[in-house]
Amino acid sequence: MGRKPRRNPFCDGLSGEEERNYALTVTTQAPVRFELHEPVVCAGRKGTIVDAYPDADKYTVELFDEDGDTVDIVDCTSRQLERPKRASYGRTFT
């Protein structure tokens, strides 16, 4: 016999459809967490996180120019940040 799946206590009293919708909104709205000194892209500019408050979803980012000189220090949320895409040089590693 299979075990009965554990119910989410926040879904008590909801119909099956409402429970599925609740689970979807909770999982899709969770902010992405970034670490201190992690390279990021903010507003199309490369930078590094110099101060992080992931519980408050607030990050201070030091932005750089092409030469690697500091241009600006800005406050961002996780929705404004993204991880830099790694350059592909046409190689495949095995």
Residue 29 covered by a domain: no
pLDDT at 68 over 50: yes
- Structural domain including 54 reads 39-82
Residue 48 covered by a domain: yes
Please give the mean pLDDT across all residues of the chain. Answer: 76
pLDDT at 59 over 50: yes
Residue 69 covered by a domain: yes
Q: Is the pLDDT higher at 92 or at 83? A: 83
pLDDT at 93 over 50: no
Least confident of 32-36, 46-50, 73-77: 32-36
Residue 64 covered by a domain: yes
Query: Count of domains in the chain?
Result: 1
Which has the closest alpha carbon to 84: 40, 31, 36, 43? 40
Residue 8 covered by a domain: no
Q: How many CA atoms lie within 13 A of 72 on its CB side?
A: 7
Residue 30 covered by a domain: no
pLDDT at 91 over 60: no
Residue 51 covered by a domain: yes
- Say if CB 64 and CB 30 are below 8 A apart: no
Residue 9 covered by a domain: no
